[in-house]
Each structure stands twice: as C-alpha cells, then as structure tokens.
Chains A and B, each alone.
Chain A
Amino acid sequence: MAAVNTTTVLRGNVAARLRIGNPAAAIAFGLLGMILALGIVVPWVAGSADVAQQNPSLLSPSLDHPFGTDRYGRDVFLRCMAAARIDIAIGLSVALAVLLIGSVIGVLSATFGRGVDAVIMRATDILLAFPGVVLALIITASLGKNPWYAAVAVVIAFVPLLVRLSRSKALEVRAADYIAAARLSGASTWQVALRHVLPNSFKYPFVQATLVASWAILDFAALSFLGVGVQPPDAEWGAMIAEGVGDNLLGNWWPSFFPGLMILLTAGSFQVIGDWLDRRLR
C-alpha cells in the first residue's frame, strides 16, 4: 500500500541525511578537518613557537616560513597552527555548553510557564540588549584577564539566544497530541519536559549551535585582540592579530593577515556547515 512506499522512502532519507550532498559543505568539512589536523600535528612535531626563535624577525613568507616570521622571529605558520587547537576547541566547547544550557533552560521555561518563564524571559531580554561581544567584554573585564573567564563570558553572551530559540520550539512541541498522551499516561511535568519536549525540540537549537561555534570563535578572538582573553606569548589568532597590527603599518602584513585568514576560514566553515545542517535536518 502507499504507506509502505512512504516508509521505504523515509528510511532512505534517514540514511541519506548525513551524506554530504553539497559541494560547499564538503569543502567546509575538508577545510575544518585539515586545520584541526594541522593544529594537532604541527605543534606536536615542531613545537608551538611561543618563545622567541633564532630566526630573523619579520621575514616575508617563503618556503621555509610559509606565513613568514613575526617581529620576535617566531614562525607565524607554527603559531597559527598552535592557535588552531585553542580556537577550534573554544568554538566547539562554547557551542556545546551553550546548546546544553540554553536548550534545557528554554524547555523548562516553556514547560513551567508563568513565573519561571517570566523571570527567564526578562533575564534573556536584559542579556540580549547588549551585542554579544560587548557583553562578553564587560563580563571578562569585571572578572579579570584570563582565557577561561573569556570563554565563560562568551557562553553567557550566547546562552540567551538559544534559550529563546529552544523555548519557542518547545512551546510548539508542547501543543502536540503526544504530549497530552504522555500527561495522561501519568508522566510528571519534569518527565514530559525532559523525555518528550527536549528531544523533540532539540533539532533547531542543534543547528543554531553550529553557528554559535563560528560566532564564538570570532568573539573569543575579539576578546583576545582587546587583551582580555588569551595573553601573549600564548598563541591565539586574535592575540596574534593584536601583536601584528603595529607591523602592518610598515607594510609587514603577514603577522596579522594569516591569523585573520584562519579566523575567516574556520568561522566561515562553521557557517557553511550550519547552513547545510539546517537544510538537511529540516
């Protein structure tokens, strides 16, 4: 019967869902994988080049030093790769934290409603009134210069966004008949929220979290650039740009250009992947 056909088609879809059918997404995955692999392998083999090296300073890019050297004679390529580890790890872990915290708060807000919902919504209103990076800057500045604080600040800046999104999806899900059926079968409010509403509203926050990863990388780099995140001499793209800006004025563009390019490629890849996931899972 027709239903049988539909079933097989749907099953096929599930299998096809995670196959990459989009060249842009394939490139993004490849790029991200390559940067991550180099970020792990290169520092392991060649060191992280945090301290001054025996190279002449400000060598322009060449075969020996593909990204050139900075004013302390450190190899920019090595430092970019060392930073990749940190930046991608920050992006992913911020996204994961934001996803978990945001979707649980959002679902609970939608489930309990009334007072709980009102308090949570006003809190997100206040947090959303600031642009993310400004909020993160305020939080880090008041906590102190420390990369961990900066990461926490970025998490706080993005949580409200996911709370809003997952709350609106959860409200939709809550109106479904299977929620009424679950309530009738004796499930408590908590059980309904965590077993039914959360899994069914998770898809959209999950897609959004991929985008959060890209924004988190940008914001974390911005905080380091402003001097409140990763501190020199540790390698981080934002901090490297800050260090290289002065050289740029004298025409030595490479110490700031390459970390900037890395941010662009990484954040861009996450965006493309997010977009692809969005279309795949919809």
Chain B
Amino acid sequence: MSARAPAVVFFALAGLAPLVVRDAFLLDSLVLILLWGSAAAAWNVAGGYAGQISLGHSAFFGLGAYGAAVLGARYGVSPWIGLLVGAAIATVIGLVIGYLSNRLRGPYFVLATIAVSQVLLLGASRWRGFTAGSEGIPVPFRAGFWTLGIADKRIWVWIILTLAVLVYLVQVYLERSRRGFQLAAVREDEDAALSLGVPARWLKVAAIATSAALTAMTGALWAQYVGFVDPFYVFSVDISIRFALGAILGGLGTALGPFLGAMLVTTVETYLRAQFGGIGAGFVGIYLILYGVALIVMVRFAPQGIVGWVGDRFRRRAEVAGSPAAPPVSRS
C-alpha cells in the first residue's frame, strides 16, 4: 500500500460525499474543513517545509479575500480574475517578506510577519474610499460559475476540493523533488546546506511566495463562499494562528497533516459552538480557550502532530513484522 493511500482516501471521500449527503449543515462543514485545510496546508509550505514560522499569514488570506471582493463589488470583475490578482499581490508581498526572512531568524521573523498583517489590517479598515473601511465589503451575488454566485453547496465542495488537491500536490512536490530535499536541508541546517551549494535564500523566498499565493487563493474563495469580508477578521492574528494550529496539530511538514488538523479544529469548534453558543454570549470563547491549551499541549507532548504520531505507531509495528522501517518524518 502506498504512503499516499490515506490522502487518496481522504480526498476521494470528500469528493464523493456530495453525491450522497444532502444535508446543508454537513456540506457546509465539509467546505469549511477543506477551506481551512487548504489554508493550513498553504501555511505548511512555508512553516513546515521551509521552517519559516509566520504568524502573519492572514495578510495573504486577506489580500486574496479583498482582491476578489473589491474587484467584484467595485468593477464587476469576475472573482476568478480577482483571485488571480489577489494571489499576484500576495506573491509580491511574499517575495518581500521572504527576502526579509533571510535577515530575520526565529522570533524576529514571527514579529515581522505579524507587523505586516497588522499594517494591512489597519490599511484595509481605515482606507474607506477603496475598501469601504471597517464596515467590510459584502460580496455581490451574481448567479453563475464565472461569477461564483453558486447556491448549491455540493458545487462548492468540488471547487474547494480542487484547491485542496492543488495545495496538497504542491506539498507532495516538496517531499519528492530535488528542490524539496534542498529546502529540507536548509530548514534543518542552513549553514551546512549553504556549504553544499544549496541556494538557501532563493529556496526560502520561493517557498514563502508560493505559500502566500496559495493562501491568497484560499482567502479569495473563502470570501466568495461566505459572502462578506470583514477586515478585522481576515487580517487578524487569530486566523494566522488558526492556519498554524491546523498544521501543527496535523503534523508540521507532512502533506496530509494540515487537512487532518483543520478537520479536528473545525469539528471541535462547530461542536462547541452548538453546545455552548446558546447559553450566553460569554461562552463564545470556550473553544478558543481549548485552542490555546491544545497548542501548548501539542507542541510540548506531540510536536510531530497527528500524522507523525500515527506514523510512529505504524512504523513500530512494521519493525516488529520485520519489514524495513520507513524514513522518519522530519520535523522542525
């Protein structure tokens, strides 16, 4: 059985589910799992594979969301074009941040990414003439695939699934290709990689820019799906953490991990909202407390995430059975 089998099963189930499931709530949950999974996986390209931990990825998510929403609402441009424009701007900013990352290591890089997302948040919420300011932008609904005015949630599942598979394949490329191996070498020991002639700087910049573009695409589709863009949400540190949390829970630097992590986070969140949401406004924070505690506990006790943990079990069993052990899952 191939190591990719769990992923094939995961995406196949997601793709086939709309044929069977008719329940709008379940389909909505599936769309959100795939969306947040794609965003976590896009974060993983920079954070997991390149080891460039960012807590400002909401900058790219917001750029994508605004790109599609502003162009659509103001100029009647198709959100598909808006998605590409948002991704292009995010790529440029990703290139700049990636360039900076070479000078800034560890906590400095984290701080720089937060600052960039905060600048965009303030810009979007204050530049009333262009972005409609802090009220946010409602996304106009125009029926049709070209305008992404789709009421049928089953179609949405397939659209988002396409994005999810795209991000997944980018990650697989990073696990299989020469470039990917070089990137892993840079992550583990940059100086050693440099001494072997690996273009460390170029690889990190490319990884961050790719991650930025993919995150922006997720943001654009999210905005079209949800129908409203709020600057205080799309550019918040909270959703940057959400991307990182999905990837960490699932397994940093693993291709399927972020999707599993996002599934866990989204399911728990939906469940707790349903459980506690009705009791009082004060309870909205309960799942966020769990977020925080989960983050502390995960990085301490299972830094390799779900995929790494399950992988360990399998490997141990395989070793007992006498077959050669699989290479260890790398972690940063």
Are the chains A and B members of one assembly?
no
